[in-house]
Amino acid sequence: MGKIEEKNFQKKLLSMSNRQENLSAEALEHKILKRNEGILTSTGAVCVSTGKYTGRSPNDKFIVDEEPHSSQINWGSVNKPFSKGNFDLLYKKVVQHLQKKDEFFIFDGLAGADQQHQLPIKVITEYAWHNLFARQLFIRPQPQELRDHKAQFSVISAPSFKADPSIDGTQSEAFIIISFTDRVILIGGTEYAGEIKKSVFSVMNYLLPQQNILPMHCSANIGESDDVALFFGLSGTGKTTLSADPERRLIGDDEHGWSASGIFNIEGGCYAKCAGLSRQNEPQIYDSIRSGAILENVLCDDENIPEYTDTSLTENTRAAYPLTNMDNIKLPSMGGNPNTIIFLTADAFGVLPPVSKLTTDQAMYHFLSGYTSKLAGTERGITEPMTTFSACFGAPFLPLDPTVYARMLGEKIGAHNVDVFLVNTGWTGGAYGKGKRINLSYTRAMIKVAVQGELANTETITDPYFGLQIPAACPGVPDDLLKPWKMWEDYKEYEEKAQNLAAAFEDNFRKFSNVEASIKEAGPQIK
């Protein structure tokens, strides 16, 4: 893919005297404070508010309907089409909006640590703190790379530009629109910085499979013997927490590619949830929130000390910081082919085993299912735990059919003899409200022996509902905890919850009608 051929109005924008290009983190922090975009906290991080949008807006995300790309997109509720005519008009309006500002900010960066598969990007932002976010979350070029930098995709973010749905063809004032022909991502009407990060990931999820590279919504770390472990999981399952292991170096916490030669981080930073953050439970993350970091929607006391336990503004409080803020990292952010894959789920119904070994068919089944639970209080209107399924543990970011990614995963697991485990970080002894959350120390112990290869050939028993192979014993973990039914006081109640969850899995999987019978049969069995 060659250099972007910018439209004339974008060329004019990039030549404007009010542009601020590739400022240092310190210079951007100075701009943030001077422009009253945020405050400086006691940790040295800046803290900002994202206004009414404290999370992603999936209903406001679109892909431009244009060939030859349209025939490849998996159109539906995730990938909604946007007309080329409306996009061109909106594109011009956003650029003109930025031209009128006293200043705007440009960051030239990279997506992808593997130089053979990097995507050079240009991030143009209205706010200084969004540019600092991009600088810290993506890969920062070395001086020579910056001189030779030729962007292949642009992100243009203008939060104060509000769309008019009746004129612009959007659903609301906010919009996130990807054009694979113009190689542009337009973002407006929302200040939530996660849209910048995730829209680039969506682009990589479209481009990388064309190079036979599997893009993955996962974290990764590496041991002393260069053994690589991947951690897949939806929000709240512990993906960032569990991959930040003091005994292993972190490759990345959220997005990776898997090529023929191994895995590589797509990003250059971390975007960690902050709700309930403490040094005791997550020391590496806690200590990384210092100069160069950005706190989103975290409330502070009168002395600007962050109060991570206060989620009255939103449950989705976040910290963005460069990988270099952490001590125990792998640079460059690459590793060989994985030895172990961990699928994380937080089962609020208390019926999935804390750890189980998966066959390749089971791995593809659970990868396509992408199960976890939403808890009461995390979203308006949710009063009971709800089953949540997100294909490939990242459905909102998949332009292609999920089975494309699943088949690539299955092929790579088989080719490299990868051990795959399903780890439940949720509840035991009963459902949410009656049982209790599995102790983090037990989860860490299970993952430790799994990545060390000690569970690969251990004696197992078969879960009666989900067909999963449960280790009969695991060092550092009570034997009964491994078998969920033994932790319930009322076995009949366990059976009822297990059958209900098994039925939910089966209902969800009906949409994958084009997968092999062996994968369909690898799911739970309703009795």
CA atoms of 243 and 253, how far apart (whole Å) = 7
Active-site residue (options: 140, 198, 249, 412)? 198
Closest CA to 122 of 134, 136, 113: 134
Question: Which of 182, 254, 361, 419 is flagged as catalytic?
Answer: 254
Write the DSSP string, 352-402.
Answer: S-SEEEE-HHHHHHHHHH-EEEEPTTSSTT--S-EEEE-GGG-GGG--S-H
Q: Which of 318, 357, 412, 497 is catalytic?
A: 318
- The span from the CA of 344 to the CA of 250, in Å, is 17
CB of 291 closer than 8 Å to CB of 45: yes
Select which of 122, 239, 357, 366 is catalytic.
Answer: 239
Catalytic pick among 49, 70, 172, 235: 235
Q: Residue 323 is encoded by which pair of tokens? A: 């990988």
| Catalytic-residue membership of 240 | yes
In the chain, what are the helix, strand and coil shares in percent, each to the nearest 5? Answer: 30, 25, 45
Radius of gyration, CA atoms only, the chain? 23
Which residues face 295 on adjacent strands?
A: 47, 319
**DSSP structure class, residue 325:** G
Considering the candidates 217, 273, 357, 412, report the single residue annotated as catalytic: 217
Instruction: Give yes or no: 290 in active site.
Output: no
Q: How far apart are the first and last CA of the chain?
A: 52
Q: Distance (Å, rounded) from C-alpha 289 to C-alpha 21? A: 25
Calculated CA dihedral for residues 394, 375, 422, 330, nearest 10 degrees: 60
| Active-site residue, 374 included | no
**Helix and strand totals (H; E) in the chain:** 15, 28
Name 40's bridge partners.
46
Distance (Å, whole) CA 218 – CA 243: 10
DSSP H or E stretch at residue 522: none
Q: Is residue 198 among the annotated active site residues?
A: yes
Q: Is-catalytic flag, 84?
A: no
Reduced to 3 states, what is the DSSP secondary structure of residue 475?
coil
Q: How far apart are CA 98 and CA 58, in angstroms?
A: 24
- Which one, of 107, 89, 115, lies nearest residue 193 by Cα? 107
201, 310 Cβ separation under 8 angstroms: no
157, 240, 288, 360: the catalytic one is: 240
Catalytic residue among 56, 135, 197, 249: 56
Amino acid at 425: T
**Cβ pair 352, 500 in contact under 8 A:** no
Active site residues: 56, 198, 217, 235, 239-240, 254, 318
